[in-house]
Amino acid sequence: MAILEELNAGEDTANIDELLYDEDEEFVPPTEEEIARFKRNVQLEREKYQPSNAEKIMAFAKALVLRALVVFFLMWVFKRQTLTHPAPVDSDAEITPEHEEF
């Protein structure tokens, strides 16, 4: 394993490869057994972080509720005003009790 040396701010970093790697070390490719063990360990780690069925259902329900709230809010904000404005009344016209508004 390579030993890292500290670099001072004033030192030349052109020979950084010499500082990081030993020339005595040779690359040894992993064996088939090591590769298989690595892949098995990766698969086990991936399974740890997979959500359970209950978590999947809760996430789906939460998404539906949040979407419904967003739609409700948008409908509430942009709803039409259903109040009708009364028509202007002529001052000369008589209002009979049949036509009075409550």
Number of domains forming the structure of the chain: 1
Instruction: Give the model's pLDDT for residue 79.
Output: 85
- pLDDT (tens digit, 9 = 90+) per residue, 2-46? 455 565 655 666 666 666 666 666 778 999 999 999 999 999 999
Domain of 37 in residue numbering reads as: 31-77
Query: Does residue 43 belong to any structural domain of this protein?
Result: yes
Answer whether residue 74 shows pLDDT above 50: yes
Query: Does residue 86 belong to any structural domain of this protein?
Result: no
Query: Does residue 8 belong to any structural domain of this protein?
Result: no
Query: Does residue 49 belong to any structural domain of this protein?
Result: yes
Query: Does residue 53 belong to any structural domain of this protein?
Result: yes
Distance CA 20, CA 80 (A): 70
Comparing 57 with 99, which gets the higher pLDDT? 57
Given a contact cutoff of 8 angstroms between Cβ atoms, the answer to whether 21 and 6 are in contact is no
Distance CA 78, CA 52 (A): 39
Prediction pTM value: 0.43
Arithmetic mean of pLDDT, 59-70: 98
